Amino acid sequence: MSILVDENSRVVVQGITGREGTFHTQQMLAYGTKVVAGVTPGKGGQKVEGVPVMNSVAEAVDKEGANVSCIFVPAPFAPDAVMEAAAAGIQVIVCITEGIPVLDMVKVAAFLKEKDSVLIGPNCPGIISPGKTKVGIMPGHIHRPGSMAVISRSGTLTYEVVDQLTKAGLGQSTCIGIGGDPIIGSSFVDHLRRFKEDPETKGVVLIGEIGGTAEEEAAEYIVQEFDKPVLAFIAGRTAPPGRRMGHAGAIISGGQGKAEDKIRALQQAGITVVADLAELGKTASQVMAK
């Protein structure tokens, strides 16, 4: 099994006529993703890579049965794109866009509370169920079907970890990049709950980073409810306080968000924390062999 997306997912790409939208539509189609529609207001009737372009997400839902959205809309317009997708009944919304202002995401988060949609991102690489579908920008060739789940705040570290898992003979059930902004649509805990119920997911890798309290919250949840093996890596151990590192949310401020605090919380929860990223694949093999 996989969570949230699979071979039956019908994807609409918002911003399909832009450079990034067009390129990654090509990549998703090549992977086997069912991209059934694109949306760019005012450009309805065109086609991109054989995919029909429509003027609204509601039209894509009505005409093509779209149930997953992938958003490549520029930051000033991305919040409206997310809310449009949710209002149209899209079940899973993947927002790749980076640079969305925090205040705009506050409005989006409030809007989504009244909807049944799951938002992944923004500022994320998306989600992939290896061998079934990918929605976003993850490099499909490094993934293999299997039983390890990956949940990550970092895009590039996701690719490194997946590559190591694959080379270690550990395929993946679903890999999710949740994004590194201060306000994101879904958390470690949200997805851990889903993986708990997935019988084919046997273990999980969490990739965290400095800033916020998401990793500590995940540790608390794992202690209370999660009974599958979990490994973790925390990026930013040498980052100085007050300086943003990579993501908008990757900053130590107000005495919170330090790598050592996260590592301590995870270790106290019985989670194997890998200090050297290069050892993650090897360590995962050892943990899963127990």
Do residues 193 and 276 both lie within one domain?
Answer: yes
Q: What is the mean predicted confidence (pLDDT) over 93-112?
A: 97
Q: What is the mean predicted confidence (pLDDT) over 65-69?
A: 98
Give the per-residue pLDDT at 261. Answer: 87
Say whether pLDDT at 286 is over 50.
yes
Give the per-residue pLDDT at 179. Answer: 95
Do residues 103 and 225 both lie within one domain?
Answer: no
Give the per-residue pLDDT at 236. Answer: 65
Domain CATH for 89 = 3.40.50.720
Do residues 157 and 234 both lie within one domain?
Answer: yes
Give the per-residue pLDDT at 256. Answer: 52
Do residues 147 and 281 both lie within one domain?
Answer: yes
Q: What is the 3-state secondary structure (H, E, C) of the chain?
A: CCCCCCCCCEEEEECCCCHHHHHHHHHHHHHCCEEEEEECCCCCCCEECCEEEECCHHHHHHHHCCCEEEECCCCCCHHHHHHHHHHCCCCEEEECCCCCCHHHHHHHHHHHCCCCCEEECCCCCEEEECCCEEEECCCHHHCCEEEEEEEECCHHHHHHHHHHHHHCCCCEEEEEECCCCCCCCCCHHHHHHHHHCCCCCCEEEEEEECCCCHHHHHHHHHHHHCCCCEEEEEECCCCCCCCCCCCCCCCCECCECCHHHHHHHHHHCCCEECCCHHHHHHHHHHHHHC
Q: What is the pLDDT of residues 202-252, one digit of tens each?
A: 999 999 988 788 999 999 999 999 999 999 999 866 445 544 445 544 444
Residue 256 maps to a domain? yes
How many separate domains does the chain show? 2
Say whether pLDDT at 99 is over 90.
yes
Told to judge if 247 belongs to the known catalytic residues of this protein, a careful annotator would answer yes
Domain CATH for 262 = 3.40.50.261
Do residues 89 and 177 both lie within one domain?
Answer: no
Say whether pLDDT at 1 is over 90.
no
Confidence of residue 255 (pLDDT cuts 50, 70, 90): very low
Instruction: Enter the pTM of the model.
Output: 0.93
Residue 261 maps to a domain? yes
Range of the domain at 34: 10-120
Percentage of the chain modeled with pLDDT above 90: 86
Give the per-residue pLDDT at 137. Answer: 98
Q: Which of 24, 143, 191, 247 is catalytic?
A: 247
Do residues 114 and 188 both lie within one domain?
Answer: no
Q: What is the pLDDT of residues 122-169, one digit of tens each?
A: 999 999 999 999 999 999 999 999 999 999 998 889 999 999 999 999
